[in-house]
Amino acid sequence: MTHIIHRNPRTPLATAVRGLGSYLIDHEGRRYYDGSGGAAVSCLGHGHPEVADAVIAQIRTLEYAHTSFFTSEPAEQLADTLVRRSPPGLAHVYFLSSGSEAVETALKLARQYHVERGEPGRWRSIARLQSYHGNTLGALAAGGHQGRRRLYQPLLADVTHVSACFPLHYRRPEESDDGYGDRLAHELDTAILEAGPETVSAFIAETVVGATAGAVCAVPGYFRKLREVCDRHGVVFILDEVMSGLGRTGSYHAFEQEGVVPDLLCLAKGLGGGYQPIAAVMAHDRIVDAIAGGSGAFQHGHTYIGHPVACAGALAVQNIIERDGLVQRSATLGRYLQDCLRERLGGHPHVNDIRGRGLFQAVELVQDREGNRVFDPGLQLHARIKRTALARGLLCYPGGGTVDGVRGDHVLLAPPYTTTQEELQSAVDILVASIGAAIAEVRDLQ
Ligand code: PMP
């Protein structure tokens, strides 16, 4: 009998008792390769002794000091590290405990920026379909993930959604990358004009889409075009790299591969690597200067912001990523993983796409490639793949359902940057077998 409200009470869970490198071990001694890093969290794998030492040392020295009285050394050092590794201007950091809080904070920073500059009428946010920005009510309203929104509608905030950039399904046959990007930029421009630019505060997007659609990258030039539209209308440009940031896609920030710099950047999972619950918003000078020149202080705060132990753990994680060249490793191993997936699954009759960047890769499945027909969403193929893979010792992150316009089922892989080629190869072996078994199950039901 459990007293915990579990995610899915009908599915009994194993108890995780230990983490070791790329593996988790359950109460019966079974080993699981953490092929999704949880949900793209465990960038250093499990049980890293240096991170554990840093966390323990910090707890012994100073476990907590409220940020209305004090700053702390680990928080200051972590902020310095993030700023040093970011483009000029992105020079301010606000620490939080979760990705959802980071998104809420970015939306509020944008709002206060406008108020301080004498434009209090700018309150609206614009986000994209097929996106996920978190589960608190504001972040849920920003996300375009219908499955997670449905029960709670109408949501607190009224957010306008524009199309995501999903070339596989939504680029027209005759359209070039440039033409597709132009069409989407025009759609955002129209949405802002229809809402009234004087009412629009911020636009938010995941640089590489994670939870809803699985490692979807935009076409080249798309983000530059959208940034231009935002600039033209004075709209704050927010990138959500909670899942895709800090080395996951093979560059420190995912936006480095897009030729843009956001006004506000949301970070979380790879920041603490799962060793501590920690997130951050990085803010550009222009946002912070407007607040500094106005009322002086960001009107916000949570009890655990800048938590010294969380910051010490994250500082150790970021220092190890830098010292061990793990961003480069994510890029190189990511190419290797994509090659393995293409070799083993490229010709598979139900595999529609293999995509991603760095150690952020996804496989999309359909019933029929030529006719572009998806499996009946009721069959939950992605959940079956997760289940069969789990039973074979592989953790992967599933998603799908036509309801979000995602089309088809997918499985996301986001292993630790410390993993090896051999581990990736055996993960792909298990994934191939699991896809085969899950499709056989589904066929039996059809
Ligand atoms: N934004 C993105 C892009 C995410 O992937 C997630 C979590 N999957 C969140 C925000 C929310 O983060 P958290 O679960 O830590 O609140």
- Which tens digits make up the pLDDT trace of 339-366? 999 999 999 999 999 999 999 999 999 9
The structural domains of the chain, with segments of one domain joined by +, span 16-47+325-445, 51-323
Q: State percent of the chain over pLDDT 90.
A: 90
Does 99 sit in the ligand 1 pocket, CB within 6 Å?
yes
Same fold, 16-47+325-445 and 51-323: no
Find out if CATH 3.20.20.140 is the number for domain 51-323.
no
Question: How much is the mean pLDDT over the chain?
Answer: 96
What pLDDT does residue 444 have?
87
Q: How confident is the model at residue 192 (pLDDT cuts 50, 70, 90)?
A: very high
β-pairing, 236-241 with 264-267? parallel
Does 399 sit in the ligand 1 pocket, CB within 6 Å?
no
> Which CATH entry fits the domain spanning 16-47+325-445: 3.40.50.1360, 3.40.190.10, 3.90.1150.10, 3.55.10.10?
3.90.1150.10
Q: How confident is the model at residue 404 (pLDDT cuts 50, 70, 90)?
A: low
Distance from the alpha carbon of residue 446 to the mean position of ligand 1, in angstroms: 34
Question: Over the stretch 71-109, which tens digit does the pLDDT of each residue have?
Answer: 999 999 999 999 999 999 999 999 999 999 999 999 999
Question: Over the stretch 248-290, which tens digit does the pLDDT of each residue have?
Answer: 999 999 999 999 999 999 999 999 999 999 999 999 999 999 9
Question: Over the stretch 5-19, which tens digit does the pLDDT of each residue have?
Answer: 998 888 889 999 999
Atom of ligand 1 nearest to the CA of 240: 3
Task: Give the contacts of 276 (CB within 8 A, at least 6 positions apart).
Answer: 55, 307, 309, 310, 312, 313, 314
What pLDDT does residue 408 have?
84
Full 3-state SS string of the chain: CCCCCCCCCCCCCCCEEEEEECEEEECCCCEEECCCHHHHCCCCCECCHHHHHHHHHHHHHCCCCCCCCCCCHHHHHHHHHHHHCCCCCEEEEEEECCHHHHHHHHHHHHHHHHHHCCCCCCCEEEEECCCCCCCCHHHHHHCCCHHHHHHHCCCCCCEEEECCCCHHHHCCCCCCHHHHHHHHHHHHHHHHHHHCHHHEEEEEEECEECCCCCCEECCCCHHHHHHHHHHHHCCEEEEEECCCCCCCCCCCCHHHHCCCCCCEEEECHHHHCCCCCCEEEEEEHHHHHHHHCCCCCCCCCCCCCCCHHHHHHHHHHHHHHHHCCHHHHHHHHHHHHHHHHHHHHCCCCCEEEEEEECCEEEEEECCECCCCECCCHHHCHHHHHHHHHHHCCECCEEEECHHHCCCCEEEEECCCCCCCHHHHHHHHHHHHHHHHHHHHHHHHHC
Nearest to 44 by CA among 322, 280, 376, 231: 322
Distance from the alpha carbon of residue 101 to the mean position of ligand 1, in angstroms: 9
Does 107 sit in the ligand 1 pocket, CB within 6 Å?
no
Is 0.95 topped by the overall pTM? yes
Question: Over the stretch 315-341, which tens digit does the pLDDT of each residue have?
Answer: 999 999 999 999 999 999 999 999 999
- Asked whether residue 401 carries a pLDDT value surpassing 70, the answer given is no
Atom of ligand 1 nearest to the CA of 268: 15
Atom of ligand 1 nearest to the CA of 206: 3
Q: State percent of the chain over pLDDT 70.
A: 99
Atom of ligand 1 nearest to the CA of 241: 3
Q: How confident is the model at residue 402 (pLDDT cuts 50, 70, 90)?
A: low
Does 243 sit in the ligand 1 pocket, CB within 6 Å?
yes
Q: How confident is the model at residue 158 (pLDDT cuts 50, 70, 90)?
A: confident
Distance from the alpha carbon of residue 360 to the mean position of ligand 1, in angstroms: 15
